[in-house]
Structure 1
Amino acid sequence: MTDSISLKAHNTFGLEHSCRALFIAKTTPELSTFCQQLYLSNQPMLILGGGSNIVLCDDFAGTVVVVETKGIELRTTESDYCLAVEAGEDWHELVCYCLDKGIAGFENLALIPGKVGAAPIQNIGAYGIEFKDICEWVEYLDLASGERIRLSVEQCEFGYRDSAFKRQLSGKALITRVGFKVPKVWLPRLDYGPLKALKGPNVTPKAVFDCICATRMEKLPDPAVVGNAGSFFKNPIIENEQFQTLVARYPNIVGYPHGRRHTKVAAGWLIEAAGLKGFQVGGAAVHDKQALVLINKDNASSDDVLGLARHIVDCIFKEFGITLEHEPRMIATTGERSL
């Protein structure tokens, strides 16, 4: 551990804030022991994977724990591939591992930044697939009791960018391992965006993977080059009646059915339609290729990022009557806060 250390290298937005102490956990036992000790001593604690889904709003007045635990166990049944993966494994590297092993089902989620242990919290998703579609169980440490608990996919209460880990288990659970199950008979999901062009008898998991990677690299900035936290806003879910009213005013608005009574609206379309693509506050800007992404364009401060995000929320509400919700976690001095 080190006193007062910079967190710039530990958040993909590249924001310059610090913490009082930093601990890098390489094994699950040391991760579990250290985090429970911090929890029971009532000290502020921030558990980080890749730091790809956070906005540091202030210096953190506590200990940051970086999860770097590794390990993938693979077993097969007659019909399925089953994997048990440690929380510190890189998500995209897991997708590549599966592809190399001939395991299909993960490819739509290629190039999503972050670690495996963070994936259940947000129920990450892209191109027609969500984490819950391939998850079998999530194992976590109850920080108060020290008990190791395994929840089935149903018990995790997954929703759109939501889970029990964001609600009743927030701040109480340390995710340590994740279990996946995908069928040996591949069921491709090709209904979303550029994947529609792949339909045909010769489509392969590798073709889907390559299409997703090419699409993401074209539209989304590499955090190693331009600081960002990926998609900054959730796609809002509104009543069908409100969507039809908006269609009358904006015939090109992009939305997708979400159950029988609701429509999921493309937040990126809303931001672009409001004329905010490229809009800048201080060193933070709306990405000029994908309006859903905010970037650290020029040594942005956290105030720049937060000011830009609030401006977008205000503009979208005034123009469309829709309130956008941020996707990244906002980290303040001692824990999470709202925008």
Structure 2
Amino acid sequence: MIVERNVPLQPLNSFGIAARAAQLVRVRSEADVRAVLADAELAMQPRFVLGGGSNIVLTGDVKATVLKVEVPGRRVVRSDERHTIVEAGAGEVWHDFVAWTLSQGLPGLENLALIPGTVGASPVQNIGAYGVELQDRFHELDAIDLHTGEQFTLNAAQCGFGYRDSVFKHTALAEGDFGLAGRALILRVRFALPHAWQPMLGYLDLERKMAETGVTAPSAQQVFDWIVDIRRAKLPDPAVIGNAGSFFKNPTVTPEQCQDIIGRDPKVVHYPMPDGSVKLAAGWLIDACGWKGKAVGNAGVYDKQALVLVNRGGADNPATGGEVMTLAKAIQTSVYERFGIRLEPEPVVI
């Protein structure tokens, strides 16, 4: 175990916000976590688990010990009658892992292409895009208890997946609760990829790609390539413009609420859900309130996609976490005043 002191976090968060960590440990195995717990000084410190840094907003320096997850590895575990089980270390880059599965002839994750972050962070957020959520392909994961150093395995039911939600985002407030926020560090994740694969194409952007290309039965690789093109056209590259991807969750409303909004704004983008609720496009709501291209200090709303907040100051004069959150709160107020809907941020605010 190597402990780094006074570490700059600007290159370790995709928003490019300038902050420092008092101390940082790079976790490449269970042994590194157990070494932290065995260290007399580190064991007494609060801890913050950091993956790819693509879903956080830093509002100041981090005093907790940062556990930077860098567990490597990709492998095919086994096949059964219905699925092939594949595994990736929590430190693997998510998009690279998706591309690897396709190179192995194993479709199923292509709709989740180009989502930023690491494999270990994917179940925390229950990432999703274009009709597929991580829980649809999830098998199980291995994690380590940050209090005891014991390793454990969780299946899908135990992860408590919801829309951009999981047990890893909740704290156990009473005995018997199963919140694991601040308690667990994910080491490896396994996925069940179906042998009987069918493309998921029920989104307007993908329908447009089929119309443009004349391909009505695309392969998994074609779907992957289309989604990469769509996301690159809509979303800024964090290496060029700092951002945390989609900043707000798409809200869900009742059919009656949706009809009320349609009565006032017929063009509202909405999607009926299997449970009878209706999902609204948060980016459309924000755009309708006139926020596209607006800014607070060096934090701005991306001019091509209102759902994305960006760092306009670049590396030399970056937006602060305070500017980002001031902008986010102003957007929330506007959307609530016009539509009566409270937008919920996706990133974790530190």
**TM norm structure 1:** 0.93
Q: State percent identity of aligned pairs.
A: 45
Aligned to 2:336: 317
Aligned to 1:217: 232
Could you tell me which amino acid in structure 1 is paired with residue 327 of structure 2?
L
How far off its partner does 1:241 sit? 1.1
Aligned to 2:192: 181
Note if 1:250 corresponds to 2:253. no
- Residues 178-327 of structure 1: pairs in structure 2 closer than 5 A: 178-197=189-208, 198=210, 202-298=217-313, 299-327=318-346
Note if 1:17 corresponds to 2:28. no
Work out the CA distance in 1 between the residues paired with 2:344 and 2:309.
14
Could you tell me which amino acid in structure 1 is paired with residue 248 of structure 2?
F
Could you tell me which amino acid in structure 2 is paired with residue 172 of structure 1?
R
Aligned to 1:3: 5
Work out the CA distance in 2 between the residues paired with 1:170 and 1:36.
21
Q: Give ranges in structure 1 of 5+ residues lacking alignment.
A: 332-339
- Per-residue CA distance 1:277-327 (angstroms, 9 max, x = gap): 001000010000010000001221111111110110111111111000000
1:104 partner SS: coil
Work out the CA distance in 2 between the residues paired with 1:104 and 1:59.
41
Mean CA deviation greater in 193-202 or 60-69: 193-202
Note if 1:86 corresponds to 2:105. no
- Per-residue CA distance 1:133-180 (angstroms, 9 max, x = gap): 100112211222322211111221111000111111111111111110
Q: Which of 80, 85, 99 is the aligned partner of 1:96?
A: 99
Work out the CA distance in 2 between the residues paired with 1:141 and 1:38.
19
1:216 partner SS: helix
- Per-residue CA distance 1:50-102 (angstroms, 9 max, x = gap): 10000001111121121111111202234321112211111001001011111
Q: Give ranges in structure 2 of 5+ residues lacking alignment.
A: 171-178
How far off its partner does 1:42 sit? 3.5
Q: Which of 130, 135, 160 is the aligned partner of 2:133?
A: 130
Mean CA deviation greater in 283-292 or 162-171: 162-171
- Per-residue CA distance 1:86-121 (angstroms, 9 max, x = gap): 111110010010111111001000001111010001
Work out the CA distance in 2 between the residues paired with 1:38 and 1:309.
40
1:41 partner SS: helix
Gap change, CA 1:36 and 1:118, over 3 Å in 2: farther
Gap change, CA 1:295 and 1:108, over 3 Å in 2: same
Aligned to 1:334: none
Mean CA deviation greater in 229-238 or 59-68: 59-68
Work out the CA distance in 2 between the residues paired with 1:4 and 1:182.
42
2:167 partner SS: coil
Could you tell me which amino acid in structure 1 is paired with residue 340 of structure 2?
G
Could you tell me which amino acid in structure 2 is paired with residue 310 of structure 1?
K
Aligned to 2:152: 149
Gap change, CA 1:218 and 1:192, over 3 Å in 2: same
Aligned to 2:176: none
Work out the CA distance in 1 between the residues paired with 2:308 and 2:14.
13
Gap change, CA 1:146 and 1:25, over 3 Å in 2: closer
Could you tell me which amino acid in structure 1 is paired with residue 11 of structure 2?
A
Structure 1 contact 12–228 (Cα < 8 Å) conserved: yes
Gap change, CA 1:221 and 1:149, over 3 Å in 2: same
Work out the CA distance in 2 between the residues paired with 1:136 and 1:232.
27
